Amino acid sequence: IPVSSFALVVFGATGDLARRKLLPAMFQRDVAGQLPDDAHIFGAARARLAEGEFLLLARQAIEEHVPAPERAAASVERFLARLRYVAVEATGEEGWRELAVALASVQDRIIVFYLATGPALFGPICERLARFGLAGGNTRVVVEKPVGRDLASAQAVNTMIGSVFPEERTYRIDHYLGKETVQNLMAFRFANGLFEPLWNAAHIDHVQITVAESLGVEGRAGYYDTAGALRDMVQNHLLQLLCLVAMEPPARLDADAVRDEKLKVLCALEPITEANAAYNVVRGQYRAGASASGPVPGYLEELGLEESPAETFVAIKAGVKNWRWAGVPFYLRTGKRLAARVSEIVITFRAVAHSVFKPSAGPIIANRLVIRLQPDEGVQLWLMIKDPGPGGMRLRQVPLDMSFATAFGLRNPDAYERLVLDVVRGNQTLFMRRDEVEAAWRWIGPILEAWSHPAAEPPKPYTAGTWGPAAAIALIERDGRTWADGG
């Protein structure tokens, strides 16, 4: 469905996110025929580039990040014709008047300002947008995560943005919410009657949420070393996934109904305190090891540092203190340079109350529902069956397996394709509200505090290409459970 006419202004247009995600995503939507003929994209960044240089950068971004069969030469030319570039100093005065002049011709449309920059620039950019008369009722602002680096800075950033853009025109992006499979979680939970009666502490033993990456920090060292995995992944992506698993059914699928329910989960998270953080949280940092393509250096060598407190791995035992989830652990883990790229949610049901089988039938393994977010998106329900054949009663575990690729065979659109157009449509359902972001920081805060204590243990080393430090395995195994993928 085409959207109404709009202009997208990307601040940080020469950066990693714009090149890797935003420009390719808009290109894909253009190829799909979803962009109106007069939709324009304005790149804004500090670099004093001529327009031709920016177009070259955009062309290279598309060549690098869009598979060859999906980028016909004519489509690339048509897309590039939509692009403009304005050099703008986010914290200075240069370029703003030029930007205002450039946007004068599109003032009758929806204008989306996408701040693909660090959070320190959100305030200065919003202030200047207001001062140059660019933040009128037809405009919306999109900010990337992480918003702030702790509760106080997030509140300050939100207040600065809020002094220019009201909440209903502010879109805090968490691209995990735009992933097809993450949205499918809502369809799965709320469009099937089968699971809801079982979706509680009486029937679920525990939940695991894993977002494992095989890559390292990939050219974002400056940012990553000041953030670490807790701020980069847990505060946003992992907690959002936890919310979608744990939330009550919203009354309607509209932005505030969904976000109200997610907020309740965040507020019900069992507090991790400075005192119990060492017991419930494991942080790690990778050392030299191997990836699928050969040996890889450790984090410190990669960044050329002697030492760094930045964690590239976190595992947490969390809990949601409410009637539905009392006593059900939520084990979260994420890390870079792990053994595989895999994101999945595993719901393990309680064991059967009593076995009627002889020991020779083998163990009864508790049912598991695996929601694979990436790669190989799909849903598996692991059940016990009788091993076919004449060998008597032997039990075996098999999956009911639904693979998106096999079932639908479609290209899985990137999250940004959906999310940027949702901003144009004015649909905030898949964006984080201010109170959600702040509630997430409130929960994360004591962990950061505990880690910054001078006597705190540094991140535990792990070898690149493994499943993280041994302590992360102990975190779950001391409860008599194991990580689902053998990690």
CB 212, CB 338: distance < 8 Å: yes
What are the phi and psi torsion angles at 128 (to 5°)? -75, -35
Nearer to ligand BG6, 232 or 436 (CB): 232
Q: How far apart are CA 175 and CA 158, in angstroms?
A: 19
Q: From the CB of 232, what's the least distance to ligand BG6, in Å? A: 5
- 224-243: contacts with ligand BG6 (CB under 6 A): 232
Show Cβ contacts of residue 195 under 8 Å, excluding neighbours closer than 6 positions.
Answer: 188, 189, 369
CA 480 to chain centre: 29
Shortest Å, Cβ 4 to ligand BG6: 28
Any contact of residue 344 with ligand BG6 (CB under 6 A)? no
Q: Which residue, 8, 7, 4, is CA-closest to 106?
A: 7
Which C-beta is closer to ligand BG6: that of 213 or that of 302? Answer: 213
Closest residue to ligand BG6, based on beta-carbon distance: 232
Instruction: Report whether 262 belongs to an annotated binding site.
Output: no
E runs forming strands in 222-376: 281-287, 289-291, 294-296, 313-319, 329-335, 342-349, 368-374
- 387 is known to lie in a ligand binding site: no
Q: Annotated binding residue at 179? A: yes
Shortest distance, CB of residue 487 to ligand BG6, whole angstroms? 17
**Coil, strand or helix: which one is 264?**
helix
Residue type, 262: K
- Closer CB to ligand BG6, residue 126 or residue 173? 173
Length of the chain: 487
The annotation status of 326 as a binding-site residue, yes or no, is no
Give yes or no for residue 377 binding ligand BG6 (CB under 6 A).
no
| CB of 291 closer than 8 Å to CB of 464 | yes
From the list 171, 147, 190, 233, the residue with the least C-alpha distance to 429 is: 171
Total residues interacting with ligand BG6, rule: CB under 6 A:
2
User: Is 466 annotated for ligand binding?
Assistant: no
Measured from the CB atom, the residue of 175 and 206 that comes closer to ligand BG6 is 175
Q: How far is the CB of 356 from ligand BG6 (least distance, A)?
A: 43
CA dihedral of 77, 81, 87, 91, whole degrees rounded to 10: -100
Has 203 been labeled as part of a binding site?
no
Minimum distance of ligand BG6 from residue 439's CB (angstroms):
19
Determine if residue 226 is labeled as part of a ligand binding site.
no
Question: Between 162 and 201, how does the x/- string for binding to ligand BG6 read (CB under 6 A)?
Answer: ----------------------------------------
Of 103 and 182, nearer to ligand BG6 (C-beta) is 182
Give 237 or 262: the residue with its C-beta nearer to ligand BG6: 237
Q: Is 12 annotated as a binding residue?
A: yes
Sign of the torsion formed by the C-alpha atoms of 362, 368, 371 and 374 = negative
Q: Name residues contacting ligand BG6, limited to 453-472 (CB under 6 A).
A: none
Residues marked active site are found at 237
Q: Is 150 annotated as a binding residue?
A: no
CB atoms within 10 A of CB 37: 8
Task: Pick the closer one to ligand BG6 by CB: 82 or 333.
Answer: 333
How far apart are CB 117 and ligand BG6 at their closest, in Å? Answer: 13
Strand order in the sheet with 170-173: 83-87, 40-45, 6-11, 110-115, 139-143, 170-173, 431-432
As a whole number of angstroms, the distance between CA 106 and CA 51 comes to 19
**H-type helices in 81-121, by residue range?**
96-104
Closest approach of ligand BG6 to the CB of residue 21, in Å: 9
- What is the rounded CA–CA span in Å between residue 99 and residue 93? 11
Rounded to whole angstroms, the Cα distance separating 358 from 362 reads: 8
Asked if 213 touches ligand BG6 (CB under 6 A), the answer is yes
CA 395/CA 264 separation, integer angstroms:
41
Binding region for NADP(+): 12-19, 46, 145
Interface contacts to ligand BG6, rule CB under 6 A: 213, 232
Binding region for substrate: 175, 179, 213, 232, 336
Binding region: 12-19, 46, 145, 175, 179, 213, 232, 336
